[in-house]
Amino acid sequence: GNSVTQMEGPVTLSEEAFLTINCTYTATGYPSLFWYVQYPGEGLQLLLKATKADDKGSNKGFEATYRKETTSFHLEKGSVQVSDSAVYFCALSSARQLTFGSGTQLTVLP
């Protein structure tokens, strides 16, 4: 079956630091890949997505590239802000079924 493995958290960074959250997946076929973000006390928001190999999703300074050869979709941001503090979920979609990773808690300190 499909599965998503995310970097263990929690992650604590200082403001303006570089962020990487690792995500690898196992899937049959050609899934679409997503990063969702959950701010404290809120639901999930779609952050970015990529639907085929070598696609780069980007939004709000975050980027992730769909790497089929390494089955990865790592999330990066060059300079994090306090407002980026949230839980980040990597997910894949295949046949309209979403499979989530365990989530990574990010805290950015001023």
Partner 1 sequence: SAVISQKPSRDICQRGTSLTIQCQVDSQVTMMFWYRQQPGQSLTLIATANQGSEATYESGFVIDKFPISRPNLTFSTLTVSNMSPEDSSIYLCSVDWTSRTDTQYFGPGTRLTVL
For partner 1, the binding residues (CB under 8 A) are 32, 34, 36, 42-46, 49, 51, 89, 93-94, 96-98, 100-103
For 82, the 3-state DSSP assignment is: helix
Minimal distance in Å, beta carbon 100 to partner 1?
5
Alpha helices, DSSP H only, in the chain? none
Query: Could you count the other beta carbons within 10 Å of the beta carbon of residue 105?
Result: 14
Q: Which is nearer to partner 1, 42 or 54 (CB)?
A: 42
Q: Which is nearer to partner 1, 71 or 99 (CB)?
A: 99
| Nearest partner of 3 among 91, 96, 105, 73, judged by Cα | 91
Minimal distance in Å, beta carbon 57 to partner 1?
11
